[in-house]
């Protein structure tokens, strides 16, 4: 039944691919996978296979990839993605020796992929539970691990009808989870090959923090005509629902400077943002030393800079909390600034923990955002304390990468 569903899904992707960009990229990318493996896999080398569903999971696994690459040159790295949003951004990632799409999880494709790649070990990141891949790895006696995993009772594994799906957990050589709640939940269902080693994303954001790029035009924007009561807010990965919450406040508060790095930077979205602004703004791609003077809002219309731009903020607004769920809060918190986000954060442990230590604030609408901003701008000691709590929270959770590598026989 599972394989039939995967076959139907593969057929559906093929059916819509002429009309859907992501489906087209996935279909074409998977079609190329076997050719990439035949061309690039060194038959005399030992490969550790990392699989990340998308870009977020890749960033989570990146510290492991880079540490193994640096400390164990006897291994090469095979990196696969399922989603185009991961592969198309990182297909030229230098930390891996081979990068390709993961074929659909059907028996024939699985055996072909493993015959060509011949990994000596597999490491899946966070949420990857492919039945045929995992069972075939176990059949071939190839150790397979999942790292930075997190489990909730609402997941299919723990439903009354989830017994067959729960079987995939038995295929893992070891499961590295983020928290005690996950270990205890798994234990109730007889899964005991589990260790609580935390989340490797903390190590990743710490690495980014240590190697932060300077963005001179952003620095010039923040410091130009700076006043004693100025606050700079970085709105990262924001969607239209987020912008409707914070832009009215920004328009009415001249002491606030705003840097917007929207999740989508297509023309229509950028124009919509600009149409809502009542104070002078400029796009980063158009900014010059002369033109940026007197501007109150800087719109970042390119990707890849956000994690470095957070350093210029006094606080951050993290987008997605009025949609499917918030984006990465740790990228901002590592700089020791408080973060604000919308109401849909419950699935994100790091967000819940940040709230608990006082390094983050959740708002539900424009009114609660205004109230929180008034509080933080009036009581700067509260702002500083919240920022310190956020920074300390990240520092106290660093180290999962070293603990995992120490526990994997390399």
Per-residue pLDDT reduced to its tens digit, 94-104: 999 999 999 99
Q: How far apart are the first and last CA of the chain?
A: 36
pLDDT at 243 over 80: yes
Q: Which of 172, 188, 326, 183 is nearest to 245 (CA)?
A: 326
Q: Name the 3-class secondary structure at 132.
A: helix
Average pLDDT rounded to a whole number, residues 307-329: 94
The pLDDT, as a whole number, for residue 373 is 97
pLDDT at 387 over 90: yes
Average pLDDT rounded to a whole number, residues 31-58: 94
pLDDT at 1 over 80: no
pLDDT at 182 over 80: yes
Tell me the pLDDT band of 326, cut-offs 50, 70 and 90.
very high
The pLDDT, as a whole number, for residue 86 is 87
The pLDDT, as a whole number, for residue 5 is 84
DSSP code string of 268-335: HHHHHHHHH--S-EEEGGG--TTTTTT-SEEE--SSS-HHHHGGG-SEEEE--TTTT----SHHHHTT
pLDDT at 116 over 80: yes
* More confident call, 121 vs 160: 121
The pLDDT, as a whole number, for residue 275 is 95
The pLDDT, as a whole number, for residue 125 is 95
The pLDDT, as a whole number, for residue 270 is 94
Tell me the pLDDT band of 28, cut-offs 50, 70 and 90.
confident
Q: Name the 3-class secondary structure at 398.
A: coil
Do 26 and 16 touch, CB atoms closer than 8 A?
A: no
The pLDDT, as a whole number, for residue 172 is 96
Distance of CA 83 to the CA centre of its chain: 13
Average pLDDT rounded to a whole number, residues 243-264: 95
Element housing 187 (H / E) = helix 180-188
Average pLDDT rounded to a whole number, residues 233-252: 96
The pLDDT, as a whole number, for residue 327 is 92
Average pLDDT rounded to a whole number, residues 26-39: 92
CA atoms of 26 and 44, how far apart (whole Å)? 29
pLDDT at 163 over 90: no
Q: Name the 3-class secondary structure at 74.
A: coil
The pLDDT, as a whole number, for residue 13 is 83
Average pLDDT rounded to a whole number, residues 160-181: 92
pTM above 0.75, yes or no: yes
Q: Which of 107-116, 157-166, 328-337 has the lowest mean pLDDT?
A: 157-166
Residues in the chain: 410
Do 282 and 306 touch, CB atoms closer than 8 A?
A: no
pLDDT tens for each residue of 328-338:
999 999 999 99
pLDDT at 371 over 90: yes
CA atoms of 340 and 335, how far apart (whole Å)? 14
Average pLDDT rounded to a whole number, residues 151-179: 91
Do 311 and 212 touch, CB atoms closer than 8 A?
A: yes
Q: Which of 149, 174, 165, 90 is nearest to 400 (CA)?
A: 149
Mean pLDDT of the residues in the chain: 93
Q: Name the 3-class secondary structure at 176.
A: strand
DSSP code string of 214-276: P-HHHHHHHHTT--TT-EEEEEEEE-HHHHHHHHHHHHT-TTEEEEEEES--SHHHHHHHHHH
The pLDDT, as a whole number, for residue 63 is 96
Cα angle 274-275-277, degrees, rounded to a multiple of 5: 65
The pLDDT, as a whole number, for residue 78 is 98
Tell me the pLDDT band of 162, cut-offs 50, 70 and 90.
confident
pLDDT at 380 over 90: yes
């Amino acid at each position: 039944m599972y394989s039939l569903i995967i076959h139907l899904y593969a057929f559906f992707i093929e059916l819509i691919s002429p009309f859907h960009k992501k489906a087209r990229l996935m279909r074409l990318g998977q079609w190329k996978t076997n050719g990439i493996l035949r061309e690039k896999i060194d038959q005399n080398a030992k490969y550790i296979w990392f699989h990340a569903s998308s870009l977020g999971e890749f960033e989570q696994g990146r510290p492991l990839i880079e540490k193994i690459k640096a400390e164990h040159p006897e291994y090469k790295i095979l990196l696969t993605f399922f989603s185009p949003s991961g592969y198309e951004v990182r297909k030229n990632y230098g930390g891996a020796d081979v990068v390709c799409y993961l074929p659909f999880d059907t028996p024939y494709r699985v055996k072909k992929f493993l015959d060509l790649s011949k990994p000596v070990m597999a490491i899946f990141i966070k949420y990857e539970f492919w039945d045929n891949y995992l069972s075939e790895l176990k059949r071939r006696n190839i150790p397979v691990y999942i790292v930075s995993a997190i489990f909730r009772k609402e997941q299919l594994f723990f439903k009354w009808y989830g017994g067959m799906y729960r079987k995939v957990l038995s295929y893992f050589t070891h499961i590295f989870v983020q928290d005690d709640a996950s270990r205890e939940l798994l234990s109730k269902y007889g899964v005991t090959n589990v260790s609580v080693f935390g989340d490797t994303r903390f190590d990743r954001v710490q690495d980014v923090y240590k190697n932060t790029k300077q963005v001179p035009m952003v620095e010039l924007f923040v410091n130009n005509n700076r006043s004693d009561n100025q606050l700079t807010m970085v709105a990262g990965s924001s969607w239209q629902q987020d912008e409707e919450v914070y832009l009215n406040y920004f328009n009415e508060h001249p002491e606030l400077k705003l840097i917007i790095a929207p999740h989508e930077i297509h023309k229509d979205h950028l124009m919509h943002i600009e149409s809502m602004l009542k104070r002078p703004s400029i796009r980063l791609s158009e900014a010059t030393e002369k033109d940026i003077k007197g501007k109150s809002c800087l719109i970042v219309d390119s990707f890849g800079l956000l994690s470095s731009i957070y350093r210029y903020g006094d606080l951050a607004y993290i987008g997605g909390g009025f949609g499917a769920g918030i984006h990465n809060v740790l990228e901002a918190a590592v700089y020791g600034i408080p973060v604000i986000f919308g109401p849909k954060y419950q699935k994100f442990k790091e967000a819940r923990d940040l709230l608990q230590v006082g390094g983050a604030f959740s708002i539900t609408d424009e009114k609660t955002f205004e109230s929180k901003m008034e509080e933080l701008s009036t009581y700067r000691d509260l702002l500083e304390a919240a920022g310190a709590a956020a920074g300390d929270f990240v520092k106290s959770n660093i180290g999962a990468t070293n603990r995992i590598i120490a526990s994997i026989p390399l």
